Amino acid sequence: MISETTHWPSPAKLNLFLYITGRQENGYHELQTLFQFLDHGDDLAITANESGDITLTPAIPGVALEDNLIWKAATALQKQSGCQQGAHIEINKVLPMGGGIGGGSSNAATALVALNYLWQTELSDEELAAIGLKLGADVPVFTRGFAAFAEGVGEKLTKASPDEKWYLVVRPNVSIATVDIFTHPDLTRNTPKRELATLLDSDYGNDCEKIVRMLYQEVDKQLSWLLQYAPSRLTGTGSCVFAEFSSKKDAQNVLETLSDNVSAFVAKGRNLSPLHETLAKYRLAHKQSI
């Protein structure tokens, strides 16, 4: 066990495109989507210990410990590996809940990847992804740590290398439940499946965007405003919208024109997750200290 306190990024993600290609008998939607990480997100300070307990601070208002995805991930790793160790986890929460940029899923993945290292349980990437999939469809993307084209219900991942652009991400002051979008009768559910090469060479879109803009005036208003400046769209099924730029300066210039009551940030797209860059640094430092 590695017992010193370590710091781990829990990055945001964008769905650069999202198409719904069908619906299974169990109600799950089949999709094609492209995930890319951002160099912006939460931070988890983790201290492994011998207690066997998982403790978290600060508590998230309205979320019981047993319902917290970080706690669920840590206890699932304990069970899968037979590990008797525990940990205290302090989270610096930056990413919004219900924003569609992967906050909870990223937190769960960071807990899995970090504790697998700190507890020295040595589960493979595939085993961590399998645990993650039980916690949420997006968790395996974060545990694997590379930008990915996802198919099926999101579990079939193919490594991808989209352009690493600069993004202005804006969150209107609404929280959107995924279930409300996926159960809407007007949602497009029959977009034709296409090869990744074809999709990468086409204009990107999001089949959920029409429904979200129809239901949430704030999102529609913000997206209309962004489209004046750059290609812009919804990410995932959440409330965040993003505009893409070729330079940080261009993105910052538009950010500065936003009203003060809107939550927004500028970030760079990353095809290798900052989480996995951190893991590599800790592994190297540990190896050199032996």
Write out the catalytic residue numbers: 13, 138
Kind of pairing, strands 148-151 and 29-49? antiparallel
| Whole-number Å distance between alpha carbons of 230 and 168 | 10
Are 222 and 172 in contact by the 8 Å Cβ rule? The answer is yes
| Whole-number Å distance between alpha carbons of 186 and 179 | 14
Q: What is the identity of the amino acid at 266? A: V
Are 101 and 12 in contact by the 8 Å Cβ rule? The answer is yes
> Which of 156, 153, 152, 128 has the alpha carbon at shortest distance from 142?
128
Helical ranges in the chain per DSSP H:
69-81, 103-118, 125-135, 139-144, 178-182, 196-200, 209-215, 217-226, 248-255, 274-289
SS3 content of the chain, % helix, strand, coil (to 5): 35, 30, 35
**Within 13 A of 60's CA, how many CA atoms are on the CB side?**
22
Sign of the dihedral through C-alpha 56, 60, 66, 68? negative
Contacts of 161 (CB under 8 A, 6+ apart): 147, 271
